[in-house]
Amino acid sequence: MKPILYTTVCSLFVLASACNTTAVTERSAAIGLNHGVSEKHRSATYWIQSQDANEQKRVLLSSTAIQSLNQRNEKKPWGYQDILNTAAMTPEYTKRELAIRSDWLAQRVQEGKYVEEPHGMLLGAQKIISNSNFVHEYRVVHTQTVLYCVPSTHSLFTQPIDRAFNRNHCSGLQPGEAIRVLRKTQGGWLHAHAGHSIGWVRIEKTTPPITAGTLRKFATQTPRIVLLKDRYPLATGTTLRWGSHYPSGSESTHQTVTVATPKGLESQSFQQETMALNETPSDAWSVWPLAFTRQNVFKLALSMQGTQYGWGGRNGGRDCSRFLLDLFRSFDIRLGRHSTAQSRSGLQQIELKGLSLEDKTARIQEASKRGVVLLYMPGHIMLYLGEGPQGPLAISSLSEYVVPTNDQSEKVVRVDQVVVTGLELGTQTTRGSFLQRLTRLAVFGQ
């Protein structure tokens, strides 16, 4: 495969504006209650039963179709990349990527678009980069951590400063995520490609180096389990995250799962009553990959309501694109990391620019007959659920929205969680409603 420089640069540039925010004036604990969202609309059962009985469990994409989709998207500059493909990650590739990223960030600071905290953090990071060496290693993350855009734990902010949005956070990395190490520093920084993102991670958050064969086995060996609950603790102290999947097995008295630890990849026990692959899956796990049906998608997505929003994985939370990345990887569908990439990842993309609100709604409804639909507006992406009393409803990991006030001004309402909302949010504001701002649909189904 030809080296794809644009992948990592685009991830930084677009992610820097994804799920964006401005000054916060109010926090909402009851998002959606006044916007056509009732308790039934938060129920997976409601949305599943709103479908025809045959449609509820229809497999929208077969395993063959999913593999074909993944292969097609991998060829795109924004697509999820196979980190075992050594041809795409040469020393020349990483050198150019680092130079372009450093120059772009420096220009943003010079123009006053980014603020360093402390001043000079980029210069310090550049010195670390210049002293790094090209390596070829594979590792697995064993602890939830940040993938930094530059090798520094310090911060970059846009104006006005909102400390919940550190622009040096390119992504979060979850326990069990594999990385290809491209460069290493004596100070313990690793320049790493995680498939969906590229950045810098601390060495103490990863396993020791493993072979490509060991990594391939860890990533593909069957049978596997997928976690249906978030922050699921094992008795050994390892915590598993929603959407992650791991090789599983059984011994005479207990079930096992292979996970990453500071010592390497280890087999750890599940409680017998919780983990039994020859029985019906519990509400905490299932056999991976899940069948890509509306029933499974809605159940899994709506189970995460109320969980924490987190820009770039801040405090272990998920922003809009990470929420969907984890949701879709439960079905072995590999999405890119930022919202623009995800909006181009379906079997079909439908452009909505210039359409009336009525036409946009009609396109959404028609697309949903073919499969699962993602709704994209610049900076945010959502999963369409169906129609509510005031129009289309969707679920997403949402930072904020804007509402008009009685004095003809506007206020920003901070949400910071996974929620079901209507697309009329933002009506009569300078930003416009979510429906007005929609520019593209991505359809996953045949």
**413 pairs with which residues across the strands?**
26, 401
Distance CA 340, CA 422 (A): 21
Q: 């609950």: which residue's tokens?
A: 229
- Kindly tell me the burial class for residue 420, based on how many C-beta atoms sit within 10 Å of its own C-beta (0-12, 13-18, 19 or more): buried
- pLDDT 10s digit of each residue in the chain, 446 long? 333 333 333 344 334 334 544 444 555 544 444 567 889 999 999 999 998 888 899 999 999 999 999 999 998 888 999 999 867 677 888 888 898 998 999 999 999 999 999 999 999 999 999 999 999 999 999 999 999 999 999 999 998 899 999 999 999 999 999 999 999 999 999 999 999 999 999 999 999 999 999 999 999 999 999 999 999 888 778 899 999 999 998 776 678 899 999 999 999 987 644 443 333 446 788 999 999 999 999 999 999 999 999 999 999 999 999 999 999 999 999 999 999 999 999 999 999 999 999 999 999 999 999 999 999 999 999 999 999 988 999 999 999 999 888 887 899 899 999 999 999 999 999 999 999 999 999 999 98
Tokens of 64: 């063959």
Rg (CA), the chain: 22
User: Domain spanning 6-75+294-444: which superfamily?
Assistant: endopeptidase domain like (from Nostoc punctiforme) (3.90.1720.10)
Number of alpha carbons in the 13 Å side-chain half-sphere of residue 193:
29
CATH number (1.20.1050.10, 3.40.50.970, 2.30.30.170, 3.90.1170.50) of 86-211 reads 2.30.30.170
End-to-end CA distance of the chain: 28
Distance CA 347, CA 369 (A): 14
- Chain centroid to Cα 179, Å, comes to 16
Three-state SS for 125? helix
Q: 């060495």: which residue's tokens?
A: 203
Return the closest-CA partner of residue 403 out of 428, 381, 435: 428
Say what the pTM is: 0.91
Tokens of 6: 């644009």
